[in-house]
Amino acid sequence: MEESAKLKNFLDWATLNGISDSPFIEVNQHKPQNTNVSQTCSPSSSSSSSCLGHSLSVSHFPNAGGRGLCAVRDIGKGELILRVPKSALMTSQSLVMNDVKLSMCVSKSNLSSTQVLAVALLNEVAKGKQSWWYPYLTQFPTNYDILASFDQFEIQALQLDDAIWTAEKALEKTKVEWKDACPIMEELMFKPHYMSFKAWIWASASISSRTMHIPWDAAGCFCPVGDFFNYAAPGEEQLPSEDLTAADTGAKSLRLTDGVFEEIYSAYCFYARRNYKKGDQVLLSYGTYTNLELLEHYGFILNDNLNDKAYVALPSNLNIQCSWLPDSLYIHQNGKPSFALLTAMRLWATPTHLQKSVRQLAYSGSSISNTNEIIVMEWLVKKCCLAMENLPTSIEEDKSLLSVLDKEYETAMELKIALSGLTGETLAFLKVNGVVNDGISSTISIPKKVIRSLDRWKLAILWRLRYKMMLHYCISRCTKVINDVS
């Protein structure tokens, strides 16, 4: 009931500040910041007193992102479905300009725009109900699962060296930015709670996972109601072709998003990415991300992500023989080697004195010969198998562990009994989180800290499982090719 009341209060606040899902709303470009003046609707607009109801409503999708936005009517592809006026966007500029002390402190600092936004966000949260943004701030999650929030156990649970390196780098970057910002927060006399590294992670994660691009601030903006949209990966028809130039790819990426700030309306505008039926969840594409990138920046992964990629160690002399960028030499989510990887491997498997004569054939995407194709496929099978063997757990073990973790446990004792003796990893989790005491009461609830760690651990297992499945699919695909051409 409390959450429901907070949501209603927020939607009332959003309505008063001109946010609307009606295409007929007239956005007032001159409304001063922080005034509760409702926008004027034309006679043809929805008669609803809420900012939502004409096109969208807040709903819950347990198996598809949790809270999101639902279509309340049939919506056509490309239709304008939400506008958020510039005056309702939370930016570092809007936060700083309305706080004299914050403005003075920030003006003499060397903080990046993202650090300024993090400090300003914490400063606003510390105001509590005195903040003009309070109704909106109540809609922020209390914690996030981005990689920078992972502890050492959870980072190691990723298992892959590249993923572990990415997580450690994200954590270290966040620590450096926090330390740089501490003098400013001290000057602003932040209470210890808001100066803590935990609070900084929360603010950084909020910026990483919730902000949207605006042309005048590299840190982006918080977009009330607009950040209720859940993520949908671009479909195959929207993905950049593997043979596009960098310039082409950059231009294409601009068309992968469904929300943009439009000067003509002085508002952030959102458009339907496809046709929706009444009752469908309306989704937003943030762009193309691998599962590791989604985990790093947003704190979730997709079971079926067309943009996901797996990499295996390649021959040391491979790059000498081709002009492909290393990032293009990967295995697709379905196990298919990328166009660049196949081309490079086919040339690598060709004797040096014959490479010039078959280069054009290879670059057309064609196989060079049955013998050549078998060499390439056998090599890929060997590398994928080796990569799987070198990981601490198998696909079957990960699936089995997830089946245990997916069960509901009411007490710490139940969790301990379920995990004890499964693997060395489960024992490590219990030790790290202090759930090993033989004197644990059978009635003690699982601490929230343990539950959050459990959620991040599950994300790490899910990520590594999806990665292993890509290698598994590649082995199956390559083995079939070998059998077909033998």
Q: Tell me how far apart the alpha carbons of residues 332 and 293 are, in angstroms, rounded to a whole number.
A: 15
Q: In the CATH scheme, what is the code of domain 1-88+223-292?
A: 2.170.270.10
Q: What is the pLDDT of residue 356?
A: 85
SS3 label, residue 422: coil
Mean pLDDT by 10 residues, the chain (486 residues): 89 95 58 38 43 92 86 93 96 92 90 95 95 96 94 96 96 97 95 96 96 93 95 59 41 54 93 93 88 94 92 77 81 95 90 86 89 95 95 95 91 87 86 76 82 96 97 97 92
Q: What is the pLDDT of residue 24?
A: 63
Three-state DSSP string of 69-83: EEECCCECCCCEEEE
Q: What is the pLDDT of residue 47?
A: 38
Cβ neighbors of 418 (< 8 A, separation 6 or more) are: 404, 407, 409
**Global pTM exceeds 0.75:** yes
- Give kind and range of the element (H or E) at residue 395: helix 395-405
Torsion from C-alpha of 84, 87, 89, 90, nearest 10 degrees: -160
Residue intervals of the chain classified under CATH 3.90.1420.10 are 308-486
Question: What amino acid is encoded at 97 in this protein?
Answer: M
Q: Tell me how far apart the alpha carbons of residues 445 and 411 are, in angstroms, rounded to a whole number.
A: 4
Question: What amino acid is encoded at 483 in this protein?
Answer: N
Q: What is the pLDDT of residue 285?
A: 84
Cα three-residue angle 126-131-135, rounded to 5 degrees: 105
Q: Are strands 331-332 and 259-262 parallel, antiparallel or unpaired?
A: unpaired
Cβ neighbors of 460 (< 8 A, separation 6 or more) are: 150, 154, 155, 157, 158, 159
Residue intervals of the chain classified under CATH 2.170.270.10 are 1-88+223-292
Q: What is the pLDDT of residue 233?
A: 74
SS3 label, residue 358: helix
Q: In the CATH scheme, what is the code of domain 308-486?
A: 3.90.1420.10
Cβ neighbors of 287 (< 8 A, separation 6 or more) are: 234, 253, 256, 257
